[in-house]
Structure 1
Amino acid sequence: MLSCYEDILSLTKELVRTESIVNTEGEQVLAEQLYNMIKAWPYFRHHPEQVICAPTVHDTSKRSNVLACVRGTKTESPRTVILMGHFDTVGIDDFGSLKNKAFQPDKLMQALRNETLPPIVKEQLESGEWLFGRGVLDMKSGVASNLYLLRYYAEHPEELAGNLVLIAECDEEDSSHGILSALRNLKEWREKYGFEYIAAINSDFVSSRSEGDETRYVYKGTVGKLLPSFFITGAETHVGACFEGLDPNFIASELTRQIAYNPELCDEAHGEIPAPPVSLKQMDLKPSYTVQTALAAYVYYNFLIYSWSPKDVLKKLKEQAKIAFDNALRLFAERYKAYCKRSGEPYKEIPWTSRVYTYEEMNDMLKNEWGDKYIHHMTAYKEQLLSDTSLDSRMYAARVVEEAWKWMKDKSPAIIVFYSSLYSPRVELTDKTENERNLSAALARAIEYVQPYYPYPIRIRHFFPFISDMSFVALSDDEESIRYEAANNPAFGQKYTVDYKAIRELNVPVINVGPYGYDAHKKYERAEMKFSFEIVPNITNYIIRYLLN
């Protein structure tokens, strides 16, 4: 076992002291500090070309990743293991009056002793076994573990029969510009040094799965995340004659009732099931108050996947949208009839039927109907829309769909299903390749090795349950699934881009071995120090030695 506890504790506090909140200058400040730290080590003074501070690409913010590699001398080999972790954090508004101490763990913990705390937080604070502070858990202690191992092998390259690459990436908390940009650097090093990337080990945080769960988890592969979105049109009317029109908010509400928290929409693989979809936004697109019902509504949902593809999800949600639309029209008719019975007004058969299209279906329909006139207009509109920096990818996509809808000749109520945000692909370790089998075996052996040194059970699961940069070093989706995602996302290639070809070329099996704690992204963010500063680096080190022996 490596005696690394004190070193990683010190490195973690050093990293936490720099405020590297995502989308702020602090990201670049910390990148430069990391670069200067690593290049000052003796190994890198002799090999300065093997550490770089690489700016992100296709990014509106100035920020960089730090990459470094140690080339082993035990036996010359192309086999290369990647250690990865992000150094950006979320903000600190939740700290309230303690904001000025959020990045100073010792001062923060002293201040917390004077506060009224939840019982478990108070118990862990007083135990002396937990470290508090923004980024301590998510995930600077993981980066510190990777830095320690990089430094160890920089001092002992003769123990490596292969190579070790570290990526400390920015912007994981927002749009993954960091890891997506680092793909280019990994490709350059592969060509320059002949690296064969055989495994990647991410060091993002892990937590209990339920109250009272004392198991510490490591993960093979990761959950995927989609943002299925719905543009819903109705038939406008004055509110005093509400049954003469169809409120799109009414349809949207039924759609959310049909989709949100629906366990039938939970994927399953290896006996594991992710959380069901849930609404992240529901709104209409009226610019201001009027007594006319809205012309259109917009909703989107978080959707987690283990085995389904973007194509599968869009097909399923098109079916769900049809069910919701039919339910909404049925309920509308029932209430209209009940109203007419009470008021004495004559009942008229409602003129609408449910219509649901994917964005690609609508777009192809309009191209066929209007030809170049439509294509040129939408190209110019999308370019013009990019100048509105207030629009994120989700609202940008909604506005594109809304503009395309104006070209529809039949404007009776409809639902358009599309994607509106970056797709974080699922990654599944199937053990079908030699590299996957070796990594799985190394992880299992590593757990067996460290378990006697730790009082709580350590268990392997298949899918890391949170969104992470693991999604961008391997692809489990085939080409058609990826094409389907891009073709149904109006923001793809405009507000963001993903080089799926580069991911597929890298396609390295990836696991997560990270610090354990509670309340990431919250005021009481904290990491359990023994697991995070001792067990995690020793699991990772065992895997490195197993694979590069």
Structure 2
Amino acid sequence: MLEFKEEVLSLTKELVQHPSINGTIGERDIAYKIYNYFRELPYFREHPTHLRLCKTEGDERERYNVLALVKGKNADLQETVILMGHMDTVGVEDYGKWKRLAFFPDDLIEHWREGKVQARVRQDIDTGDWICGRGTVDMKSGVAGNIALTRYYAEHLNELNGNILFVSECDEEDNSRGIQSAVKDLLHLAQEEELSYVGAINTDYTSPQFDGDENRYVYLGTVGKLLPSFFIAGKGTHAGQPFEGFDPNLVAVELTARLDYNPEFCDELYGEVTQPPVSLKQTDLKKKYDVQTPLSAFVYYNFFVHSWSPKDVLIRLKGVAEECFAAAVDQYRDRYLRFSRYSGNSRQPLETFQPRVYTYEELYEECLSRFGSEFQRGMHQFAMNLLNEKELDLREYSCKMVEELWNWRGEDTPGIVLFYSSVYFPRIVLSEKDDRERRLIGAVNRAVKEVQPHYSRPIQVRNFFPYISDMSFVAISDDPEGISALQKNMPAWGTKHRMDVEAIQSLDIPVVNIGPYGMDAHKQWERVEVPYSMQVVPNLNFQVIRHLLGM
């Protein structure tokens, strides 16, 4: 194996010591740091147009992606492998008393050695094989490995039977504006330099999948991620006359009880199973205290997919919403009868209403049919005005759009609107049936077979990277119906949120993830294992490139 460890370790510490928390000026400046590193290499002095600092489009912040192209010994060869990874990190508030050390791996680990830490953390740091700090595993060690590989090929062009394109993107930890902006840059670069992208290697972090898991994982393709959301309209009343209204929180509770952690909604493909849905928000929409019951509620759930499209998920969850609404109404009526008997008071019959469940598309089409162009203009104007409320995130913006749509409906009866309120991370499924995908799968399997004898723990190849990542934006496995269902049921589509589906489909690169191994990403105890992450991983990727480009 080639010797990469010391170089990647040094680069990792350099990158970690340059804070690049998402949304801060450091996220902008780390792109300059990486750009300036490459600019000093002889190859890029001779080929300055192969190094680019690309500003993100449609971004309220000044941020950049870095692209560095190395053309091999035969400049006429078009086949190109992309090495990709994100530069930004999450924040450091969770570090508590060690916050000031979060970007200084050597100092932080010394304080850990002297302080009180978790048993597993102590076990790892005592081996001397781990470094810690924000971004060490997620994912500056992965970016450092890509820098080292790019530098190696820039100095050994005779070993490159094609081309390497280094891509380091911003904003992965929020809305993935970096990679979505980079898609157009990649298409333009391919046209200008006559490149043919044959595969991409992402180097995002990997972790154990269960207690005691000693495997190191390589992933073919990636999980998809949706945020199905429910706007629940109730009927307000004075708290002293509760049964004259209907509390939407009763339905929200039923939805969460039905969906939260439920394996029934795990998506299985190729023998691999997604994590179940989990609630990320559950709230009513009252803005202040009074004794009126809430008029509406809002809930959303993280939802991973392997084979299901956005359309498939809508179909499943609309049925769930109908069941939950019916259960809530039954419970409401049962408790009214029990209260009537308990209090001994004569009660008027409850108002009879049928729970109504719509997708956003269904309710929009109903209102369009009833109110025509006036409705269409009104919703568009509302959407544009809402953009001026800068403090609204994508989820809140979407909820307000649905609330306005419900107001157009104009009926004082309870109901649910099902919609998507956040960025869709498309699933990517690699198949042996596709020539390019089969070629990449073969290159990965050969690389693992060759490198495994040099590492003591098993390296396993699996089909789906289990976390959301920028991998999702270099190809899309969904069919047109699935994408259409997403667009028509995401209120922010085309206004607050844009995703260039056509550009991603034009790019269409098979992608794998071969990245560093570590623990506790996004947590105080974030750390990365050095021997695997900084020696084995770069060699795995080196071998994948060789086999993919026919060396």
- Partner secondary structure for residue 482 of structure 1: helix
Task: Give the Cα–Cα distance (whole angstroms) in 2 for the partners of residues 346 and 114 of structure 1.
Answer: 71
Mapping 1:226-265, distance limit 5 Å:
226-265=226-265
Match for 2:195: what amino acid?
F
Question: What's the counterpart of residue 373 of structure 2?
Answer: 372
Task: Give the Cα–Cα distance (whole angstroms) in 1 for the partners of residues 469 and 404 of structure 2.
Answer: 33
> Does the CA-based 8 Å contact 2:243-2:350 persist in structure 1?
no
Task: Give the Cα–Cα distance (whole angstroms) in 1 for the partners of residues 219 and 431 of structure 2.
Answer: 13
Task: Give the Cα–Cα distance (whole angstroms) in 1 for the partners of residues 363 and 346 of structure 2.
Answer: 36
More off after superposition, 340-349 vs 35-44: 340-349
- Partner secondary structure for residue 77 of structure 1: coil
RMSD of aligned C-alpha atoms? 1.0
Match for 1:216: what amino acid?
R
Task: Give the Cα–Cα distance (whole angstroms) in 2 for the partners of residues 387 and 64 of structure 1.
Answer: 25
Report Cα offsets for 1:402-444 as digits up to 9, x if no partner: 0111111333110000000010001110122111011101111
Task: Give the Cα–Cα distance (whole angstroms) in 1 for the partners of residues 97 and 425 of structure 2.
Answer: 35
Match for 1:385: what amino acid?
L
Question: What's the counterpart of residue 490 of structure 2?
Answer: 489
Task: Give the Cα–Cα distance (whole angstroms) in 2 for the partners of residues 442 and 75 of structure 1.
Answer: 23
> 1:525 deviation in Å?
0.6
Task: Give the Cα–Cα distance (whole angstroms) in 2 for the partners of residues 411 and 427 of structure 1.
Answer: 43
Instruction: Determine whether 1:472 maps to 2:477.
Output: no
Task: Give the Cα–Cα distance (whole angstroms) in 2 for the partners of residues 28 and 240 of structure 1.
Answer: 55
Question: What's the counterpart of residue 324 of structure 1?
Answer: 324
Match for 1:403: what amino acid?
E
Task: Give the Cα–Cα distance (whole angstroms) in 2 for the partners of residues 174 and 346 of structure 1.
Answer: 55
More off after superposition, 152-161 vs 135-144: 152-161
> Does the CA-based 8 Å contact 1:232-1:252 persist in structure 2?
yes
Question: What's the counterpart of residue 457 of structure 1?
Answer: 458
> 1:255 deviation in Å?
1.4
Report Cα offsets for 1:66-116 as digits up to 9, x if no partner: 001111114732111000000100000011121111111001111111211
> Does the CA-based 8 Å contact 1:277-1:303 persist in structure 2?
yes
Question: What's the counterpart of residue 89 of structure 1?
Answer: 89
> 1:346 deviation in Å?
3.0
Tell me which stretches of 4 or more aligned residues in structure 1 moved more than 2 Å.
none
Task: Give the Cα–Cα distance (whole angstroms) in 2 for the partners of residues 352 and 251 of structure 1.
Answer: 15
Question: What's the counterpart of residue 517 of structure 1?
Answer: 518
Name stretches of at least 5 consecutive residues in structure 2 with no aligned partner: none
Task: Give the Cα–Cα distance (whole angstroms) in 1 for the partners of residues 281 and 214 of structure 2.
Answer: 34
Percent same amino acid among aligned pairs? 49
TM-score (ref. length: structure 2)? 0.98
> Does the CA-based 8 Å contact 2:419-2:490 persist in structure 1?
yes
TM-score (ref. length: structure 1)? 0.99
Mapping 1:151-230, distance limit 5 Å:
151-230=151-230
> 1:372 deviation in Å?
1.2
> 1:350 deviation in Å?
4.0
> 1:22 deviation in Å?
0.5
Question: What's the counterpart of residue 76 of structure 1?
Answer: 76
More off after superposition, 341-350 vs 412-421: 341-350
- Partner secondary structure for residue 231 of structure 2: strand
> 1:491 deviation in Å?
1.1
Mapping 1:229-308, distance limit 5 Å:
229-308=229-308
- Partner secondary structure for residue 466 of structure 2: coil
Question: What's the counterpart of residue 23 of structure 1?
Answer: 23
Task: Give the Cα–Cα distance (whole angstroms) in 2 for the partners of residues 404 and 356 of structure 1.
Answer: 14
> Does the CA-based 8 Å contact 2:73-2:161 persist in structure 1?
yes
Task: Give the Cα–Cα distance (whole angstroms) in 2 for the partners of residues 230 and 24 of structure 1.
Answer: 32
> Does the CA-based 8 Å contact 1:225-1:302 persist in structure 2?
yes
Question: What's the counterpart of residue 498 of structure 1?
Answer: 499
Report Cα offsets for 1:245-277 as digits up to 9, x if no partner: 110111111111111122111111001111111
Report Cα offsets for 1:122-141 as digits up to 9, x if no partner: 12112110011110100000
Question: What's the counterpart of residue 527 of structure 2?
Answer: 526
Match for 1:284: what amino acid?
D
- Partner secondary structure for residue 240 of structure 2: helix
Mapping 1:365-404, distance limit 5 Å:
365-404=366-405
- Partner secondary structure for residue 478 of structure 2: coil
> 1:241 deviation in Å?
1.1
> Does the CA-based 8 Å contact 1:137-1:517 persist in structure 2?
yes
Task: Give the Cα–Cα distance (whole angstroms) in 1 for the partners of residues 410 and 8 of structure 2.
Answer: 64
- Partner secondary structure for residue 313 of structure 2: helix
Report Cα offsets for 1:145-165 as digits up to 9, x if no partner: 000010011011121111110
Task: Give the Cα–Cα distance (whole angstroms) in 2 for the partners of residues 442 and 432 of structure 1.
Answer: 15
Report Cα offsets for 1:134-193 as digits up to 9, x if no partner: 101000000000000100110111211111101001110001011001111111111111
Match for 2:477: what amino acid?
S
Match for 1:437: what amino acid?
R
Task: Give the Cα–Cα distance (whole angstroms) in 1 for the partners of residues 241 and 353 of structure 2.
Answer: 17
Question: What's the counterpart of residue 114 of structure 2?
Answer: 114
Name stretches of at least 5 consecutive residues in structure 1 with no aligned partner: none
> 1:345 deviation in Å?
2.5
